[in-house]
């Protein structure tokens, strides 16, 4: 199985039309519509990749805004996690920007009626069986792990997409999971979450991971942020140095009927314990960078009101 990470730009004009691309086919029917975007480079922040790729595929320079959604497509042994960002035109387009592609402002109704990619469906809010979304349809395959071999003279590379939740209950407490010793960040309190399984959507992954790490049935809400980090000298599972690139989709989540947190997943995993914490207690805890980042953009009181 192969795992990839992609970034796309949702660009609309003042009339609500969407900027889409499709292949030029001399003497043949035009191909399906695509959102401008594609695979991110190793170590490249997804937001930066979205701006670069929209420019490469359409000729427009765009300002990339907040992430709108994270979706996934699994096909022929390849699972692609993709972040769709809001974007606005700054300038362009440049002439002859792409030899084999044509970009066009397309009315959403027309795009929906014509052949289009599953990422266009995600942009337009259309149901599409090609988009991953059901845990029970995912084969029991291992999640992406760091490679064990690399060409001589080259540092091994690893890339991983994860989905995490900022989870609150009606009392305004936050649910955290402690990273087991022996894992990166061991001993720190982290957001419950983890890698997306093959054929699984990021949203489904958040709900599953929250249950496995804390025993709580959570309702997953909005996508809050997407963060990216690169650790050029991480240590792989066999003790070798690794150039590691991680991307995290962070969601809000609530637990309407909370109980004492307990780790449900099998012993020996990356979570040693889990617990509900009052906001006032967080200052005295060793927190992961992901928790610190999340608390900058989340109001726990407002989130608690939704539980």
Q: Which sign does the torsion angle of CA 193, 231, 224, 18 carry?
A: negative
Would you list the DSSP string of 137-204?
A: GS---PPP---S---TTS-EEEEEEEEEEEEE-TTS-EEEEEEPTTSTTTTSEE-SEEEPPTT--HHH
Tell me if 250 sits within 8 A of 278, measured CB to CB.
Answer: no
Do 187 and 288 belong to one domain? yes
Query: In 233-265, which positions are buried (b, 16+ CB within 10 angstroms) versus exposed (e)?
Result: ebebeeeeebbbbbbbbbbbbbbeebeebebeb
Do 159 and 294 belong to one domain? yes
Q: Is residue 146 part of a domain?
A: no
Distance from C-alpha of 230 to C-alpha of 247, rounded to nearest angstrom: 9
Do 51 and 166 belong to one domain? no
Two tokens, residue 148 = 């064990």
Q: Is residue 254 part of a domain?
A: yes
Distance from C-alpha of 139 to C-alpha of 198, rounded to nearest angstrom: 7
Q: Is residue 149 part of a domain?
A: no
Per-residue model confidence (pLDDT) at position 236: 56
Do 126 and 160 belong to one domain? no
Distance from C-alpha of 207 to C-alpha of 218, rounded to nearest angstrom: 6
Where do the H-state alpha helices sit in the chain? 46-58, 108-113, 118-124, 202-214, 289-297, 300-305
Do 226 and 299 belong to one domain? yes
Close Cβ partners of 24 (under 8 Å, ≥ 6 residues apart): 30, 100, 101, 102
pTM of structure: 0.88
Do 68 and 10 belong to one domain? yes
Distance from C-alpha of 15 to C-alpha of 7, rounded to nearest angstrom: 24
Question: Distance from first CA to last CA of the chain, Å, rounded?
Answer: 37
Q: Is residue 251 part of a domain?
A: yes
Which of these three, 117, 132, 147, is where a domain ends? 132
Two tokens, residue 265 = 């997943």
Distance from C-alpha of 304 to C-alpha of 307, rounded to nearest angstrom: 5
Do 123 and 238 belong to one domain? no
Q: Is residue 145 part of a domain?
A: no
Distance from C-alpha of 24 to C-alpha of 34, rounded to nearest angstrom: 12
Percentage helix, strand, coil, to 5, in the chain?
20, 40, 40
Do 234 and 102 belong to one domain? no
Q: Is residue 202 part of a domain?
A: yes
Do 123 and 163 belong to one domain? no
Two tokens, residue 21 = 């691309």
Per-residue model confidence (pLDDT) at position 31: 86
Do 117 and 162 belong to one domain? no
Q: Is residue 69 part of a domain?
A: yes
Q: Is residue 98 part of a domain?
A: yes
Residue 298 sits in a domain whose CATH number is 3.90.79.10
Do 51 and 110 belong to one domain? yes
Per-residue model confidence (pLDDT) at position 117: 97
- Show the domain range for 48: 2-132
* 3-state secondary structure (DSSP) of residue 282: helix
Per-residue model confidence (pLDDT) at position 110: 96
Which of these three, 132, 167, 200, is where a domain ends? 132
Provide the number of structural domains found in the chain.
2
pLDDT by residue for the chain (307 residues), tens only, comes to 899 999 999 999 999 999 999 987 666 677 899 999 999 999 999 999 999 999 999 999 999 999 999 999 999 999 999 999 999 999 988 655 555 568 999 999 999 999 999 999 999 999 999 999 743 443 444 555 555 554 544 568 888 999 999 999 999 999 999 998 877 788 999 999 999 999 999 999 999 999 999 999 999 999 999 999 888 876 655 556 778 899 999 999 999 999 999 999 877 788 999 999 999 999 999 999 899 988 888 888 888 888 8
Do 183 and 296 belong to one domain? yes
């Amino acid at each position: 199985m192969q795992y990839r990470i992609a970034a796309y730009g949702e660009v609309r004009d003042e009339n609500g039309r969407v900027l889409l691309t499709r292949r030029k086919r001399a003497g043949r029917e035009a191909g399906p519509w695509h959102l401008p975007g594609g695979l991110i480079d190793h170590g490249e922040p997804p937001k930066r990749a979205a701006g670069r790729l929209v420019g490469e595929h359409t000729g427009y320079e765009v300002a990339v805004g907040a992430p709108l959604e994270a979706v996934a497509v699994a096909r022929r042994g390849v699972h692609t996690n993709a972040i769709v960002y809001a974007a606005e035109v700054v300038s362009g387009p440049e002439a002859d920007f792409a030899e084999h592609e044509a970009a066009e402002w397309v009315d959403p109704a027309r795009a929906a009626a014509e052949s289009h990619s599953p990422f266009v469906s995600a942009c337009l809010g259309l149901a599409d069986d090609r988009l991953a979304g059901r845990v029970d349809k995912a084969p029991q395959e291992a999640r992406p792990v760091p490679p064990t071999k690399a060409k001589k003279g080259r540092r091994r590379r690893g890339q991983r997409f994860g989905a995490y939740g900022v989870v609150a209950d009606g009392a305004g407490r936050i649910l955290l999971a402690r990273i087991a010793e022996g894992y990166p960040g061991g001993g720190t309190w982290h957001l419950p979450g983890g890698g997306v399984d093959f054929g699984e959507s990021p949203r489904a992954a958040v709900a599953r991971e929250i249950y496995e790490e804390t025993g709580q049935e959570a309702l997953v809400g909005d996508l809050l942020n997407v963060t990216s980090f690169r650790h050029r000298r991480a240590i792989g599972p066999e003790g070798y140095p690794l150039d590691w690139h991680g991307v995290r989709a962070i969601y809000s989540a609530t637990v309407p009927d909370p109980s004492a947190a307990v780790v449900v997943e099998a012993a020996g995993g990356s979570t040693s314990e889990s617990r509900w914490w009052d906001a006032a207690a967080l200052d005295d805890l060793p927190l992961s960078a992901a928790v610190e980042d999340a608390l900058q953009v989340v109001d726990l009181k407002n989130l608690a009101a939704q539980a």
